[in-house]
Amino acid sequence: MIFFSTSKSSTPVSLKRATLEGLAPDGGLYVPAEVPRFSAEELSLLESGTFNNVAFSIARKFAGAEVPLDTLSRLIDECYGFDTPLREVGEGTFVEELFHGPTLAFKDYGARFLARMTGYFAAEDRKMITVLVATSGDTGSAVAYGFNGIPNTRVVLLYPSGKVSRLQEQQLTTAGDNVFALEVQGDFDDCQRLVKQAFVDPDLKRALTLTSANSINISRLIPQSFYYAWASLQLSRRFPGKPLLFSVPSGNYGNLTAGVLARMMGFPIGHFVAASNANDSVTRYLSDGRYEPRQTVRTLTTAMDVGNPSNFARLLHFYDNDFRKMGSEITGISVTDGETIETIRSVYERSGYIMDPHTAVGYRALEEFRRARPGDGYPGVVLSTAHPVKFDEAIMTAIGAEVPIPEEMKAVMDKPKKATLIGNGYSDLSRFLQNLDR
């Protein structure tokens, strides 16, 4: 399959080149020249398949002949040895729990697939690949664990100082081995800006082979479509003929973009709710067609604190820069911190289910969407992006109780933090990267 840049001034590339480059030379994001489609017959066969069957079927359409099918199947099985359950928390309302991977966050789905694809392609080229990542929390830990020990790769993580939870910081600063953490004196947008500058720095590109593990990397984005496809097939059997709603906690909008990709491939998805916090630039765009990014506002839902989301470029591409066309399939709803806490509390009191703040934003937005359209009765899925233990302070505020730390996380909390503090100017990052091989 061929991929080209959303900026449309770079040469089209293969999946291998798109994966190893991350960002296109012109600063754009890679998108498929043509989104593959699944026939009705293919979808019918996949309804009774496993999650890994669905993942393999999607991956092979994008990988084509670049990865042998037996190798691709093995990589998929290495990635997804954990469950993706759908929990019913109300009549016709489901939470798709995406936090059963090794770092208790949905980023495991994309990071583990990307790590193995990068390792496979790097081995082919006999190169050392430097993976550069901006993170607001869960991306960093998922990438750290996903790439840890993968030959021919090393990872440099940039995260905003004081703006991730303690557990998230412990995860992304204690992996060691081939993983380096940089604590940036700024916000997530600063981290993202620094990463973008590095990718277009000609001196750095001559010195290192850089790629990204953010959702700007197409091989991070593609696997995020797997869980949309899986959930839509499971629920289409239970609710035949009813359009399925997905409410997506949205920050950098890679997760939502992956859902749009799944819908374009033909999976039975009707509509999306893009659930945002106070950082609502896309929500405002969907209402009036004006995209006006603002300074990032800090909220309880830190992973969604993104003022200028990168993947918005892909959404614009998929919807032909037409906000009305985008709005016909996506409704933007923003949720306040107060509403987030109240939602965690009310859901817990009603059902005993504990959700993290990001999931609560998605749940609240789905409720508001339904209130505006009474009588539809369409089944809805809220993507649960992180285990509630990662946001213990918010959970304590909401329900007055602690979430027990899973056994696999207790050991992480006792490890010493290992990170390098840098400023938010590009020279600090450039100097660190230039010294990696010295």
- DSSP for 328-350 reads TTEEEEE--HHHHHHHHHHHHHH
- DSSP for 410-438 reads HHHHTSPP--EEE-SSHHHHHHHHHTTT-
State how far Cα 35 lies from the chain centre: 19
Nearest to residue 140, comparing CAs of 129, 154, 156? 156
Residue 107: active-site member: yes
Sheet holding 93-97, edge to edge: 86-90, 93-97, 380-384, 245-249, 271-276, 330-334
Identify the H or E element spanning 79: helix 69-79
In DSSP terms, which residues pair with 420 in a beta bridge? 182
**Contact assessment for residue 89 and residue 347, using Cβ atoms and an 8 Å cutoff:** yes
Instruction: Give the Cα separation of 334 and 346 in Å (integer).
Output: 18
**Contact assessment for residue 123 and residue 157, using Cβ atoms and an 8 Å cutoff:** no
- Identified catalytic residue from 107, 163, 196, 390: 107
Looking only at the bridges linking them, the beta strands covering 209-212 and 129-134 are parallel
Query: What's the length of the chain?
Result: 438
Contacts of 92 (CB under 8 A, 6+ apart): 239, 377, 378, 379, 380
Nearest to residue 105, comparing CAs of 343, 420, 406? 406
**Cβ neighbour number for residue 125 with a 10 Å cutoff:** 12
Residue found under tokens 């998230």: 168
Q: Any idea which residues carry the catalytic annotation?
A: 107
